[in-house]
Amino acid sequence: MNENIDTLRTHLFDAMKGLKDGSMTVEKAKAMSDIAQTIINSAKVEVDYIKATDAKGSGFLDKGQELPKGITGVTVHKIK
């Protein structure tokens, strides 16, 4: 499995559906939420690293994501 931000979103939305339909307990959903928050906090550190080093991206935030059809590139403007 290729874990990235999209995978995290999918799991969190599945947890919300599980709470709604009763197939997931509140305790399990809370545990998933706590783990997700830890992952999000580590992604924030990655973003800070990218900003500090002018890196092009990170595996968690960018891996496997392709540009939509017809889009040939991205321009990033940075204020220094």
Task: Give yes or no for residue 15 having a pLDDT over 50.
Answer: yes
Give the closest residue to 5 by CA, choosing from 50, 53, 42, 56. Answer: 42
Q: How many residues does the chain have?
A: 80
Both tokens assigned to 21 = 């339909």
Q: Is the dihedral of CA 69, 70, 71, 72 positive or negative?
A: positive
> Is this model's pTM higher than 0.85 or not?
no
Q: How far apart are CA 50 and CA 12, in angstroms?
A: 25
pLDDT at 63: 45
